[in-house]
Amino acid sequence: MHQPHEPTPASRTTPQAATSRTATPRAASSQAVTSEAAAHAAPQLAPHADADPHAASRSAGGARILVVDDDPTVAEVVSGYLGRAGYRVDRAGDGPDALARAAARWPDLVVLDLMLPGMDGLEVCRRLRDRGPVPVIMLTARGDEDDRIMGLEVGADDYVTKPFSPRELVLRVESVLRRTRPAAAARPMGAAGLSVDPAARRATKQGTELALTLREFDLLSFLLRHPGRAFAREDLMREVWGWDFGDLSTVTVHVRRLRGKVEDDPARPRLIQTVWGVGYRFDPTGDAPDADRTGADHG
């Protein structure tokens, strides 16, 4: 299965797309984004003189986005699209600059290129996570599943593969930020020593706060709401994150990461159990046959 996205410039039968297929990954991504910008973004990158300068910011809630990419063309187009969508955008061209800008003005979300010079995106993501919680969308020109999983393992909340449509990226940003906003109507839940407060986006185990990523928090909240029910990975992808299509390994990775934070022995999970041939089940009693509790890493 492939994660849903609108057709990217690389899949269109245009001269630019034909060129991008023969170029290097970074050159291809630049050409793809540039082609997209030429067709759709150029008239929008600068606001109209008579436009309300605060209207867009109000519509997007004024969220601050840090865009980290050493390709100036990609960074400029992505920043332009996000700016026109109403976000306040900071830009950084490498890892140290990104960390310095984040320290000076902590972002609401980071769009982070995986392949940065010197300090790569994985290390930047790790260091950001050490400083505090922040949603991260990883950009990668690599198509290998291992690279995507590695990004998720270090705490990325989503990923977009280059070449990509800037409009798709804006939609991803909106989706991630929407999930991070407090759900005022949702009531706190608890079971098996775990407690989740959706409004505060806070989870604890035996009173100790858990450092969960956005997806891990959403997954734990969903499981606590449905104790004893078995869900296929496809169900979790659709019900927890709203995706009808996607890479099922994403679910496996997040279940494994969540087990590492909520289980006493992640290698023999008692709470988030594997139901062979089906998927996963949350058992608040923590009591399951050994056959159900083994193979935590095999999902």
Position 5 scores a pLDDT of: 43
179 vs 138 pLDDT, higher one: 138
Burial of 291 (0-12, 13-18, 19+ CB in 10 A): exposed
User: Which structure tokens are listed for 261?
Assistant: 């934070």
Q: What distance in Å separates the CA atoms of residue 76 and residue 55, rounded to the nearest whole number?
A: 22
| Helix 15-22, helix 25-36: angle, nearest 10 | 160
Pick the most confident of 129-138, 169-178, 262-271.
262-271
Residues ≥6 apart with Cβ < 8 Å to 155: 125, 126, 129, 136, 213
User: Which structure tokens are listed for 290?
Assistant: 């050994």
pLDDT tens per residue across span 112-126: 998 898 899 989 998
- Asked if the model's pLDDT at residue 144 lies above 70, the reply is no
- Predicted TM-score (pTM) of the model is 0.54
